[in-house]
């Protein structure tokens, strides 16, 4: 190169190198230049006088290494991209805090869990929402309409759960289950569930107005301790267990269409500003008589005179 020696050319090549591996073959007659050339980034060198077949063979070998490097980089980039997809999928099926505990563990990919993901939460509120008479409704519509309706309704519920700070646990047929106070504990778990229940009722009115259907939901809520954990190897599921879960489900199934029924345990957690109506004692399967309440709404704020 005019005005540049070989070492300056090598330094300039470093600045324009984009693939991470640029093979440079140095031909020199000075023994001391060999070490200097390697330090400058040369991949190989040949002493003068040189043999042309030897140079061609060395160039061929260097190109082979470069191709291997490029293929390795492509494979690495593909693995990174697939890992990001896997992390997004993990976040879609598991709470963020739980996904963070799982995603960096090698035993997840090997399907050999070293640690069981299981926690006990003493203060949580569980919510069940069920579409009333959905089985009868499904008999009169096509499969496409059925799935579209459920997708629309549950997508709305997902948004409400996120806005109110609940964790969606799962859907079971035409029932929707969510919980507040886990996997990260919060002190206002009952209020969060109550707000979600009220928003669900309002959202169902909007859905019916837009779709011209006349669907209603029953909502049941209960408060107390649960055990939560991840089950499954190929398909992960974050689920809850305990009497609180069963009773919340009973609050829904023993409830009234278009209303929100909750236990006395949840009522004691709520207080202001929620409006409650005592339903009285209800015979609950597996529990006997239980005192229950209907959640009617939120008291309107009154401005000070």
Q: What is residue 67's predicted lDDT score, i.e. its pLDDT?
A: 77
Cβ(292)–Cβ(279) under 8 Å?
yes
* 20 and 164 fall within a common domain: no
Average pLDDT of span 244-254: 95
Cα–Cα distance measured from residue 224 to residue 190, given in angstroms and rounded to the nearest whole number = 10
Asked if 150 and 34 sit in the same domain, the reply is no
pTM listed for this prediction: 0.68
Q: Average pLDDT in the 61-71 region?
A: 76
**170 and 127 Cβ atoms separated by less than 8 Å:** no
**Catalytic machinery residues:** 250, 285
The count of structural domains within the chain is 2
Kindly state whether residue 107 falls inside one of the protein's structural domains: no
In terms of residue numbers, what domain contains 23? 6-87
- Distance (Å, whole) CA 130 – CA 217: 5
Cα separations in angstroms, 20 against 6, 16, 74, 95: 20, 10, 12, 38
Q: Is residue 98 part of a domain?
A: no
Assess contact for 262 and 251: CB atoms under 8 A: yes
**pLDDT of residue 197 exceeding 50:** yes
Task: Specify the DSSP element, H or E, that contains 245.
Answer: helix 243-253
- Strands (DSSP E) along the chain, which ranges? 25-28, 44-47, 118-131, 167-172, 175-180, 217-231, 237-241, 260-263, 274-284, 288-298
Burial label, 76 (beta-carbon count in 10 A; 0-12, 13-18, 19+): exposed
Radius of gyration from C-alpha coordinates of the chain: 33
Q: Would you state the pLDDT for residue 7?
A: 65
Band of residue 303 on the pLDDT scale cut at 50, 70, 90: very low
Residues 125 and 188 reside in one and the same domain: yes
The answer to whether residues 214 and 152 belong to one domain is yes
């Amino acid at each position: 190169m005019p005005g540049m020696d070989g070492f300056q050319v090598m330094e300039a090549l470093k600045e324009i190198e984009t693939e991470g591996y640029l093979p440079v073959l140095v031909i020199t007659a000075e023994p001391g230049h060999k070490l200097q050339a390697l330090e400058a980034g040369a991949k190989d060198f040949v002493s003068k006088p040189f043999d042309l077949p030897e140079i061609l063979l060395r160039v061929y070998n260097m190109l082979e290494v470069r191709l291997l490097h490029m293929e390795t980089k492509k494979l690495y980039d593909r693995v990174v991209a697939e890992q990001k997809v896997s992390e997004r999928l993990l976040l879609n099926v598991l709470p963020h805090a739980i996904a963070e505990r799982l995603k960096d563990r090698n035993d997840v990919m090997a399907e050999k869990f070293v640690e069981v993901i299981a926690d006990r939460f003493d203060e949580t509120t569980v919510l069940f929402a069920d579409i009333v008479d959905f089985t009868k409704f499904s008999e009169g519509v096509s499969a496409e309409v059925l799935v579209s309706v459920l997708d629309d309704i549950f997508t709305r519920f997902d948004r409400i759960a996120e806005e109110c700070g609940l964790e969606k646990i799962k859907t079971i047929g035409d029932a929707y289950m969510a919980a507040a106070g886990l996997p990260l504990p919060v002190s206002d778990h009952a209020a969060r569930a109550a707000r979600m229940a009220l928003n669900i009722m309002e959202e169902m009115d909007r859905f019916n107005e837009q779709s011209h259907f006349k669907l209603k939901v029953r909502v049941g809520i209960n408060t107390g301790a649960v055990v939560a954990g991840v089950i499954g190897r190929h398909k992960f599921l974050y689920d809850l267990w305990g009497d609180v879960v069963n009773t919340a489900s009973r609050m829904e199934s023993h409830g009234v269409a278009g209303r929100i029924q909750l236990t006395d345990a949840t009522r004691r957690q709520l207080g202001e500003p929620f409006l409650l109506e005592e339903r009285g004692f209800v015979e609950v399967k597996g529990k006997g008589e239980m005192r229950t309440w209907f959640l009617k709404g939120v008291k309107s704020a009154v401005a000070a005179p």
